[in-house]
Structure 1
């Protein structure tokens, strides 16, 4: 594995940062944790990145063995995907998401927001949650709905396809993140947003264990 720039330290953290410490690299990983994506999809999910820089970062991550190219069956074009080794970054990304909670309290301000970023955030914040009786809720943010399901295997989050949920919480990203992090109660989240359906479903998914 050839690293163009290196901290030159025989330390696991330093060598990991040699690979994914460049600006935008971990955000590319965040996008690919949801699944393979085409170049245009990555660009859409990374507002502010230039085409040249995205190309450079993709090449660096591919050369390092973090991502790989594969055929996109929908377009017959090229898609990028995490390698098995790259997928192991999920834990590191989750740890950073959880660590960031105090930084998110102030809200987005003028920063860009994409609802699909909540997929990785909610998986991270709700990691370890289990439910013997499964529960599923929809979380609607800016007209886009996420499916959040908790069962005996853990928490599963995905962008909604059909929009058919008996229980749906409609709220701003700050409220959703506050609820998932435990900084807001279910009652506070409902008051700040709106709930259609069964409050118990929301409590099972987001409430304290």
Structure 2
């Protein structure tokens, strides 16, 4: 499972073992598994955000427009304060296409999403497992220095706001080859779905 290895399983017992064993973790977690999981009902589905799918069909500037309107028309109980990252978290869980991708701390929640569509039972599903601490070691220094003092490699919305208070500021961070950077953060408990799904974005 480490370094992009695929593991195929035939039964539930093999699956649970494959999802919960931690021998493959590059970060060698000592006290808790540093894994985020994502379940999909087809192994043909890419790891692609809702916003990326929309932008393939629409003009630029779509993200700011969608978020502005979501804030304007959101139910008053959904108001997460002024943090951009809190707003994106709530918007993602209400189905707005965002730059966020749903992950979970729970292999069982990922398993639910991999098996929740009965029409997909004839083809292989997939559960992605990422060691987010190891992934964050690949971040540019300007981002990595914000999370390293915590020792667990997971961002919060407060840390993200300090590192990048706007989408434009976040987009300034690039990998060595100029590509965007993947980053995992734990949203605050602003929504029951966020709590129930042990959400990570």
Asked if these proteins are the same fold (TM beyond 0.5), I'd say no
Higher normalized contact order (CA 8 Å, seq sep 6+, divided by chain length): 2
TM-score category (smaller protein): under 0.3
Q: State TM-score, norm by structure 2.
A: 0.25
